[in-house]
Amino acid sequence: MNLFFLSILLIVSGGILALILWRQFTVMKAVGVFAMSAGCLLGLIDALAKLFNPGQYSFSVDYLNVLSLSFKIDGLAAFFLVAIFAVSLLAAIYSFHYMDKPEKTLRTAVNYLFFSLLIASMALVVTAENMIAFMFSWEIMSLSSFFLVIYDHQSPENRKAGYLYFVFSHVGAMFIFAAFGIMYGYTGSFGFTSALPETAKILVFILSFIGFGSKAGVFPFHVWLPHAHPAAPSHISAVMSGVMIKTGIYGIVRMYWVLDLHTPLFGEIVMIAGMVSGILGVVYALGQHDLKRLLAYHSVENIGIILIGIGIGMIGVSSGNPLMAVLGFGGGLLHVLNHAIFKSLLFMGAGVVIQKTGTRTIDALGGLLKNMKITGVTFLIGSLAISGLPPFNGFVSEFLVYLGGFQGVALDRTPFVLSLLAIVSLAVIGGLALACFTKVVGVVFQGEPRSRAAENVNEKGPAMLVPMLLLAGACVVIGVFPRVFVLMALKGVLSLGLVSDTVSLAPFVQMTGNITLAVAIFFSVFLLILALRWVLYRGKTVSRSGTWGCGFTQPTVKMQYTGSSYAASILAFFKPVAPLHEDHPAIRGRFPNKTHYHSHVSDIAELHMGNVIVRPILWLFDQLRWIQHGDIHLYIGYILLAIVVLLFFI
Amino acid sequence: MTKSILLWALAIILAPFFSAVILKVKAFFGGRKGSPLLINYYTLIKLFKKGSVYSTSTTFLFKLGPMVSLCAAITVLMFLPIAGQPPVLSFNGDIIFILYLLGLGRFFTIAAAMDTASPFEGMGAAREAYFPIICEATMFMILILFYILTGKLQLAAYFSGAHPLELWQAAGSPLLFVVISFFIILLTENSRVPVDDPATHLELTMIHEVMVLDHSGPDFGFIEMGSFCKLFFYSTIVASLIFPFELGHPALNMAVFFVVLLLVYVAVGVMESVMARYRMDRVPKFVLTSFALAFFATLITLEFVK
């Protein structure tokens, strides 16, 4: 454990040093980034070592002699630590060139402080072994990320996003507190034990699922996500979307393990939540005009895929099918790592685009691939990976989840229906994700620039490009040689002891070998075609000319297909869940006035949250206004009354 | 193994010929003599001899598109059992790999189309992204049915040797639904009438053809070759389903199989001759029919199996 705490210490000292050195902008960044990335690297190596050499790594301390804080690293925690440290390491390096506003030097320093606290608290969340340590780290995580979200607090939109995030993370925390409270009520200890009656266990699981789900971004508790991610600086979005929301997933898996109740109900809840989040997340993503909001909705989608995997695993456990359990949990966990990799890559790519063009509007961009080769190519790789296409990493984890789902098809009744729905929704999610990312790549990086902002851009800043190259490389490596990474996820699963240790790993190793073989053959065919193409084009005249305009001789860049038009027909199909609002005055008369077009896709969760929850609560509080009358004597009376009432409880 | 590789090569070589059959059938219905059956080979040779003109808007993705889509189509053929023979490659879950590999080809085709900045190609790309979503859902629905019947996720476990006949014996008549829904997928994925009209001359109404407007020379040849292979893949599956029998002699078996395959192509040709293309907003409903059919086939079979 010493190495682990040393890395935490290094990370936090990076943040504090940055704050101390805030007057020297570049020095501050260099020291902060160096200490934080060194800490992350140390933590990463340590976590990998602990994942492959499972053992008892624990540590506990009595804080203020009253609260005992204990930490432990098992296989599951080590797996999440790998994702947390790897992404944070690259995000820290990325931030060196991304935070390029010397006039905001103090704010940048504060940003580094909270960034280091965020990394440290995430690492502590997944290692916490009792409720106090867990909630302590959880609250630090929520608060530090809140301050990171409101980095640009001058804009009222960002303040609103920060407020929304604050409310959601605290309502979520209240649910977790409630769940822990019930556990404490039965066991009288702060440790995670399963000495509860069955009905209490079900209640605890549902409460904590809502609490953790609101952090993870499970539909309908995802409302904060598409607001908070665009508001935060891009490296923070990468960390928040890549790993912070995964602590919610960690919480769900951990609670399932702690409660040790293998009822099919849990699997059913998780799977249904996964399918709804998966499909709606990608549908709303298609309707977005803001690049980072779009990526945020894709996080909802991928959390859905992860939950489908975990749900399949839980059903596998409850129906006594170890293969299905391992495939489901393994696929879900591997997708946690994969999503951390490609989503942080995509957010970093979006960050470069936003920094160089100054706009987040998809339909104002275009043709960036010509001037931003590295950003464009790495973003393309990220897009292919998130669409779950071979030979990239997203495919491997979805493949595992699919295989798990097909195991479930052999069961009967409810598990059968759910597995069937899971497979079909995974297929639909895959297709929609492909549609969405061809839209992003096609509209943002290809074609011609749609506005001034997208012309004459550059991509300077090696500290931003290197992490993106590394992440893109990881996408390809995991996609082509999945063996080690599948084993890593399986180590995390098997450490939970949900299935007996007798499950043979040989079929999984063979399966990864099959993927490698198939991909190798694909690449060899590709090389043959490449050679053929070279032969065919040898000595030929190759010329350049304008795009064929189908007879129209005066094309302009405004005629290009926009992201909105690209997504329109698919969105029309999903109209009941994604109502489209259009503002478009009709063109009338011989000399029509200037017109405009504006469209907006509503998120039904956001729409109904306002009507169903917020408005009644506001009404209720409005009715209670008479309590706050401003009379000091009566306020003292309230205090006395409260003390008297409390006396009865002692 | 050698036999499988030879068959794979044969499939690639024969794919253009079979596609020409559709043209011949359409010509017959139109009362014309039609182009020769080897027309596609002549076209390919002509294209391969030419140079190319690239749009100034395009990037390397425009050149990568045709190569990846052809590569995906050729690789997919390796997993395909032809005439009941075992395929070159086969493993548990290969069908999922195949479907996603075709998705990779589609991604790059769309990317190449979006590269040109042409509004028409964008329009085609949007449709190409939309309709296959429903097709994929149908494919997985059929896969679930096949998994219930065989307990395997392998193309070779469905269509090689005596397996197709076992499918029919296990499922019975509901498999007819599957044949129809496969045929609908074939029409959609390969941009045939009534989903898309490869012979139309109005860019606004096209899907696949409009996406490749700017490609020329060998690049365009690759695209054509890729679509022939893809059509061959789907047609072989349909042919294996409607001709599940094994005749005593392997040569005879092979010959009869190719005749059945020819019939599938003729059916596509007849379909194109007697039907008009649907309006674009009607297409999703048509494709959804295939999903409904596959879904009901699964439900009926479940009762049947029990």
Instruction: Give mean pLDDT, residues A89-100.
Output: 94
Same-domain check for residues A368 and A487: yes
Q: Which of B118, B185, B195 to mutate to test the interface with A (most CBs of A within 10 A)?
A: B118
Q: Are the CB atoms for A69 and A61 separated by under 8 Å?
A: yes
**A167, two tokens:** 């409310």
| 8 Å CB contact of B103 and A399 | no
Q: Which of B46, B56, B90, B104 to mutate to test the interface with A (most CBs of A within 10 A)?
A: B104
Closest chain A residue to B45 measured between Cα atoms?
A536
pLDDT tens track for B2-53: 999 999 999 999 999 999 999 999 999 999 998 999 999 999 999 999 999 9
Residue B306 has a pLDDT of 60
Residue B203 in this model has a pLDDT that exceeds 80: no
Taking CB atoms and an 8 Å cutoff, what residues of chain A touch B283?
Answer: none
Residue B144 has a pLDDT of 94
| 8 Å CB contact of B122 and A566 | yes
- Rounded CA separation A383/A295 (Å): 10
Residue A278 in this model has a pLDDT that exceeds 80: yes
Residue A383 lies in a domain: yes
Residue A550 in this model has a pLDDT that exceeds 80: no
**What stretch of H or E contains A67?**
strand A67-73
Same-domain check for residues A307 and A443: yes
| Residue A399 pLDDT level (bands cut at 50, 70, 90) | very high
Residue A553 in this model has a pLDDT that exceeds 90: no
Residue A249 has a pLDDT of 96
| Residue A91 pLDDT level (bands cut at 50, 70, 90) | very high
pLDDT tens track for A590-626: 888 888 888 899 999 988 888 888 899 999 999 998 8
Taking CB atoms within 8 Å and a gap of at least 24, the contacts of A407-413 are A407/A312, A407/A316, A407/A321, A407/A323, A407/A324, A407/A327, A408/A312, A408/A315, A408/A316, A408/A321, A408/A324, A409/B144, A409/B147, A409/B148, A410/B147, A410/B148, A410/B151, A411/A315, A411/A319, A411/A321
Residue A65 lies in a domain: no
Residue A101 has a pLDDT of 87
| 8 Å CB contact of A518 and B89 | yes
Per the prediction, chain B carries an average pLDDT of 92
User: Is the minimum CB–CB distance between A527 and chain B shorter than 8 Å?
Assistant: no
**A447, two tokens:** 């074609």
Instruction: Give mean pLDDT, residues A415-431.
Output: 95
| 8 Å CB contact of A447 and B103 | no
User: Is the minimum CB–CB distance between B181 and chain A shorter than 8 Å?
Assistant: no
**DSSP states of A427-453:** HHHHHHHHHHHHHHIIIIISSS-SSGG
- Rounded CA separation A91/A344 (Å): 8
Distances in whole angstroms, Cα of residue B265 to Cα of each of A358, B22, B165, B183, B246: 53, 6, 22, 11, 21
Per the prediction, chain A carries an average pLDDT of 92
Taking CB atoms and an 8 Å cutoff, what residues of chain A touch B117?
Answer: 366-367, 446-448, 547, 557, 560
Instruction: Give mean pLDDT, residues A506-529.
Output: 93
Residue B56 in this model has a pLDDT that exceeds 70: yes
Closest CA–CA distance from residue A382 to any residue of chain B (Å): 13
Domain total of chain B: 1
Closest chain A residue to B149 measured between Cα atoms?
A410
Residue A501 has a pLDDT of 63
pLDDT tens track for A167-212: 999 999 999 999 999 999 998 888 888 888 889 999 999 999 999 9
| 8 Å CB contact of A537 and B120 | no
Residue B162 has a pLDDT of 87
Residue A620 lies in a domain: yes
- A291-318 and A246-259 helices, crossing angle to 10°: 10
User: Is the minimum CB–CB distance between B129 and chain A shorter than 8 Å?
Assistant: yes
pLDDT tens track for A501-513: 667 778 888 889 9
Same-domain check for residues A318 and A455: yes
Instruction: Give mean pLDDT, residues B223-240.
Output: 96
Domain total of chain A: 2
Domain that includes residue A640, residue range? 604-647
Taking CB atoms and an 8 Å cutoff, what residues of chain B touch A517?
Answer: 89, 91
Residue A133 has a pLDDT of 92
- Rounded CA separation B37/B22 (Å): 9
Percentage of residues in chain B having pLDDT higher than 90: 73
Taking CB atoms and an 8 Å cutoff, what residues of chain B touch A388?
Answer: 100, 103
User: Is the minimum CB–CB distance between A552 and chain B shorter than 8 Å?
Assistant: no
**What stretch of H or E contains A600?**
strand A598-601
- Rounded CA separation A195/B46 (Å): 78
Residue A545 backbone phi and psi in degrees, to 5: -155, 180
Q: Are the CB atoms for A479 and A392 separated by under 8 Å?
A: yes
Distances in whole angstroms, Cα of residue B83 to Cα of each of A3, A299, B7, B187: 61, 45, 9, 22
Distances in whole angstroms, Cα of residue A66 to Cα of each of A23, A62, A63, A69: 40, 6, 6, 10
Closest CA–CA distance from residue A529 to any residue of chain B (Å): 7
Q: Are the CB atoms for B115 and B57 separated by under 8 Å?
A: yes
User: Is the minimum CB–CB distance between A388 and chain B shorter than 8 Å?
Assistant: yes
Percentage of residues in chain B having pLDDT higher than 70: 99
Residue A549 lies in a domain: no
- How many CB atoms are closer than 10 A to CB A509? 14
- The pTM for the full model equals 0.95
Residue A278 lies in a domain: yes
Domain that includes residue B50, residue range? 2-305
- Give the nearest partner residue to A525 out of B74, B117, B144, using CB atoms: B74
| Residue A268 pLDDT level (bands cut at 50, 70, 90) | very high
Residue A303 has a pLDDT of 96
Instruction: Give mean pLDDT, residues A328-339.
Output: 95
CB pairs under 8 A between A and B: 234
Report which DSSP code applies to A370. G
Is the preceding omega at residue A220 within 30 degrees of 0, hence cis? yes
Q: Which residues of B100-136 are buried (b: 16+ CB within 10 A; e: fewer)?
A: bbbbbbbbbbbbbbbbbbbbbbbbbbbbbbbbbbbbb
- Give the nearest partner residue to A434 out of B106, B148, B298, using CB atoms: B106
Instruction: Give mean pLDDT, residues A48-64.
Output: 83
- Give the nearest partner residue to A518 out of B67, B97, B117, using CB atoms: B97
Taking CB atoms and an 8 Å cutoff, what residues of chain B touch A511?
Answer: 91-93
Residue A55 in this model has a pLDDT that exceeds 80: no
Residue A502 has a pLDDT of 67
Q: At A34, which amino acid appears? A: F
Residue A435 lies in a domain: yes
Q: At A639, which amino acid appears? A: I
Task: Enter the ipTM.
Answer: 0.96
Closest chain A residue to B150 measured between Cα atoms?
A410
Residue B224 has a pLDDT of 95
**DSSP states of A516-584:** HHHHHHHHHHHHHHHHHHHHHHTT--EEEEPPP-TT-S---GGGSPPHHHHHHHHHHHTTTTS-EEEE-
Torsion from C-alpha of B53, B58, B59, B62, nearest 10 degrees? -70
Query: Which residue from B65, B84, B87 is spatially nearest to B76, judged by alpha carbons?
Result: B87
User: Is the minimum CB–CB distance between B34 and chain A shorter than 8 Å?
Assistant: no
Instruction: Give mean pLDDT, residues A150-158.
Output: 91
| Residue B69 pLDDT level (bands cut at 50, 70, 90) | very high
Residue B305 has a pLDDT of 64
Residue A629 lies in a domain: yes
Q: Are the CB atoms for B178 and B293 separated by under 8 Å?
A: yes
Taking CB atoms and an 8 Å cutoff, what residues of chain B touch A368?
Answer: none
